[in-house]
Chain A
Amino acid sequence: MSIIDKTDAVLEPRAEDFDGPLLEVRDLHVEFHTRDGVAKAVNGVNYTVDAGETLAVLGESGSGKSVTAQAIMGILDMPPGRISKGEIMFRGQDLLKLTEEERRRIRGRRIAMIFQDALSSLNPVLSVGYQLGEMFRVHQGLSKKDAKAKAIEMMDRVKIPAAAARVNDYPHQFSGGMRQRIMIAMALALEPDLIIADEPTTALDVTVQAQVMDLLAELQREYRMGLILITHDLGVVADVADKIAVMYAGRIVERAPVHELYKSPAHPYTKGLLDSIPRLDQKGQELYAIKGLPPNLTRIPSGCAFNPRCPKAQDICRTDVPPLHPVTAADGTELVGRASACHFWKETING
């Protein structure tokens, strides 16, 4: 295990002078070459995250939300994956143009990731203290002893009771919620600028989920980090996000500040998702269900990828890919931060 040089000039100044967005993904395309053909997992994704902001990326399995995150982190399996196009600007620097060695310095220190399944993301044969301390040993060159002290400090910070006594325990000795806290501690260890949380609470029970999300939000405020929250749970998103990007078949189909998305969705897919949540006044009635299945990524439908499942689909939807239109209110005033990739967004937003 080599120690990453801590006195590294390229990225070390915390770049306070840079005033663009913290992270900007531009026209990202990712494809996977499989035996059944080329699966186009991400097809032109654009989003930005500012410091202290929470962006929720919402989508079903296969919508490309995790692949986008892996591309940002630089942990995409290549091959079979391939980034065919696009830029990932982190503080004004294109991550995709960096060498592997330069990316390693960013990974963990500036951009960190929290994974869904803490049990399988932690190494079962190493103690949690050792795994947490690895961040400090590798990135900052601390000694084993100092790293362990730091690890205890981090465990305290994520509110693991009796951290000093548990630092030598192994992952299986912790409960699911505690394991997820260790994942959070690991991600926060070097106080990164951006955290990517990929379904951080999906595997947890609701009461524990609330604890973990609260902790994450609190620490995010404290460190003023950017957070990309990847999830399929509309409830979690409503609770913590500032803005939302809804993905479908590798594209962003709608982008909006959180309050407006729930109030007036501008894409039929978002509308369908919101309508399919059981509501009190609908008890005993049939739930609204989006018909059909998400598309196979090796054979994405022509035109709008959602057209075979869309109740509003017309001929134009089958031939023309809708660009991400900026959305305006009924009287023509611009709605800040809103966009919809639907030919008929006007009709959708107005009823």
Chain B
Amino acid sequence: MAELSKKDEPVDATPNVSEVAEIDAHSEEEAVAAIEAPVERGEPILQVRNLVKHFPLTQGILFKKQVGAVKAVDGVSFDLYQGETLGIVGESGCGKSTVAKLLMNLERATAGEIFYKGQDITRLSGRALKAVRRNIQMVFQDPYTSLNPRMTVGDIIGEPFDIHPEVAPKGDRRKRVQELLDVVGLNPEYINRYPHQFSGGQRQRIGIARGLALNPEIIICDEPVSALDVSVQAQVINLMERLQDEFNLSYIFIAHDLSIVRHISDRVGVMYLGKVAEIGTDVQIYDHPTHPYTQALLSAVPVPDPESREGRERIILTGDVPSPANPPSGCRFRTRCWKAQDKCATEVPLLAVPERFKGSDSPAAHESACHFAEEKDVVHAA
């Protein structure tokens, strides 16, 4: 059909068409070039602006009518700098995993932009998108379900090469997979084994090796150690830190275990109901939190030190997280917040350095989305 319609077109229209195509190819060329270009350490590699993802709620069978939306992610902005680890913490249902999927372009964003090296990946397609996907890889939470039980370890780790053959030529692949196994601390001779022959920690290493296969620049880790035993968690965390130095990776580290996030992260973002409540360096967030939610979250974490259990002040929140399909007006945390006033129900607090800390160089001067932000040290309080 396409051939036919081309012939039918008037002769004078042809140059126009080819011109348009040329421009497209040209901009794609540029995009690919921008994506391949290296980024200096400490420069932003990923910039997320007002990212929104709403999942529609429909009713009816034949004529689906949208009756609302689950606002899983509702205006999230942050930067990821080259070579750093950005931790994202929050309770289940706060949208942290949806953010991960959006960054991977596994879900299409409802609105907002994700700039990878200046290119908005929500708008890319074709070759440029493929190049982006090569550079952003993911490590999943559950090493038991994220590996195909019918494929050998060699096939699992080598599968990315089928899609991006330019990274490893066909003859080289086996050798490359064995190198990767060695890098993550597994015996290269295990290449023909199946996932069930490995323990949880070893499977997570396989998942990490798969993530590393295409030499990505960013790895998004969605709860990479929460399914592992305590004694094995430390091994995997150490491996990830070593790989970051070795391959100059940037991590987005999503987890609910706050002590592990603090250990591995340079900066930490706290999410609540689809929004970022507070973001800053690890010292700013853990030692000088200004958002009530962060304070409650930190004080609720059980501390492995029985000495502290009598002296510690604990903020115990009442109730559960509200449904993201129908979030509270104004500040989303107000229904569980002990500081909430009338203003909180009407005005949405913006994520910014609070007015009272502006210009000061105290560690409390970091972005916090609360009208009544004030510093409170909950971790060391005795």
Interface residues of A (CB under 8 A from B): 60-61, 175-178, 205-211, 213-214, 232-239, 241, 258-259, 262, 272-274, 276-278, 280, 282-283, 286-291, 293-294
Partner of A294, one of B229, B238, B241, B308: B229
Shortest beta-carbon contacts, A-B, top 10:
A235-B302, A278-B263, A289-B234, A276-B234, A205-B91, A234-B304, A210-B300, A290-B231, A60-B229, A287-B234
Q: Which residue of the partner chain B has the closest CB to A175?
A: B320
Q: Which residue of the partner chain A has the closest CB to B299?
A: A210
Residue in B297, B306, B316, B317 whose Cβ sees the most chain A Cβ within 10 Å: B306
Partner of A239, one of B229, B234, B303: B303
Residue pairs across A and B with Cβ atoms less than 8 A apart, 16 shown, are A175-B320, A205-B91, A205-B256, A207-B316, A209-B300, A210-B316, A235-B302, A241-B306, A272-B231, A278-B260, A286-B238, A287-B263, A289-B231, A289-B238, A293-B202, A293-B232
| Given A61-B229, A210-B300: A238 and B262 interface contact (C-beta under 8 Å) | no
A93 to chain B, nearest CB (A): 33
A96 to chain B, nearest CB (A): 30
Contacts A205-B256, A258-B306, A259-B307 supplied; 8 other A-B pairs, CB < 8 Å: A206-B300, A207-B297, A262-B305, A273-B230, A277-B259, A286-B238, A287-B237, A288-B234
A286 vs B303: C-alpha distance when bound (angstroms): 20
A259 vs B306: C-alpha distance when bound (angstroms): 6
A283 engages B229 (CB within 8 Å)? no
The residues of A that contact B234 with a CB separation of less than 8 Å are 276, 287-290
A interface footprint on B233-245 (CB within 8 Å = 1, 0 otherwise): 1110110011000
B325 to chain A, nearest CB (A): 14
B301 engages A235 (CB within 8 Å)? yes
A203 to chain B, nearest CB (A): 9
| Given A60-B230, A207-B296, A276-B233: A283 and B263 interface contact (C-beta under 8 Å) | yes
A214 vs B317: C-alpha distance when bound (angstroms): 12
Instruction: For chain B, give the interface size range.
Output: 35 or more
A286 vs B264: C-alpha distance when bound (angstroms): 10
B94 to chain A, nearest CB (A): 9
A286 vs B238: C-alpha distance when bound (angstroms): 6
| B192-249 residues at the A interface, CB under 8 angstroms | 199, 201-202, 229-235, 237-238, 241-242
A209 vs B202: C-alpha distance when bound (angstroms): 29
B341 located at the interface, meaning its Cβ lies under 8 Å from any Cβ of chain A in the complex: no
| B159-196 residues at the A interface, CB under 8 angstroms | none
Partner of B241, one of A272, A286, A293: A286
A276 engages B230 (CB within 8 Å)? yes
The residues of A that contact B317 with a CB separation of less than 8 Å are 207, 210-211
Partner of B316, one of A214, A258, A280: A214
A291 vs B305: C-alpha distance when bound (angstroms): 24
A61 vs B231: C-alpha distance when bound (angstroms): 11
B314 located at the interface, meaning its Cβ lies under 8 Å from any Cβ of chain A in the complex: yes
Partner of B229, one of A210, A214, A232: A232
A205 vs B318: C-alpha distance when bound (angstroms): 13
| Given A236-B302, A238-B304, A239-B303: A282 and B232 interface contact (C-beta under 8 Å) | no
B88 to chain A, nearest CB (A): 15
A274 engages B300 (CB within 8 Å)? no
A278 engages B309 (CB within 8 Å)? no
A262 engages B320 (CB within 8 Å)? no
The residues of A that contact B260 with a CB separation of less than 8 Å are 278
Partner of A238, one of B92, B238, B296, B303: B303
| Given A208-B320, A210-B316: A262 and B304 interface contact (C-beta under 8 Å) | yes
A243 to chain B, nearest CB (A): 11
A294 to chain B, nearest CB (A): 7
A293 engages B256 (CB within 8 Å)? no
| Given A60-B231, A283-B263, A289-B231: A207 and B309 interface contact (C-beta under 8 Å) | no
B74 located at the interface, meaning its Cβ lies under 8 Å from any Cβ of chain A in the complex: no
A18 to chain B, nearest CB (A): 31
A176 vs B128: C-alpha distance when bound (angstroms): 42
A294 engages B302 (CB within 8 Å)? no
B320 engages A283 (CB within 8 Å)? no
The residues of B that contact A214 with a CB separation of less than 8 Å are 316
The residues of B that contact A60 with a CB separation of less than 8 Å are 229-231
A interface footprint on B308-336 (CB within 8 Å = 1, 0 otherwise): 11000010111011000000000000000
A175 vs B320: C-alpha distance when bound (angstroms): 8
Residue in A211, A232, A282, A289 whose Cβ sees the most chain B Cβ within 10 Å: A289
Residue in B304, B314, B320 whose Cβ sees the most chain A Cβ within 10 Å: B304
B316 engages A211 (CB within 8 Å)? yes
The residues of A that contact B259 with a CB separation of less than 8 Å are 277-278
A238 vs B305: C-alpha distance when bound (angstroms): 6
A289 engages B316 (CB within 8 Å)? no
The residues of B that contact A210 with a CB separation of less than 8 Å are 300, 302, 314, 316-317
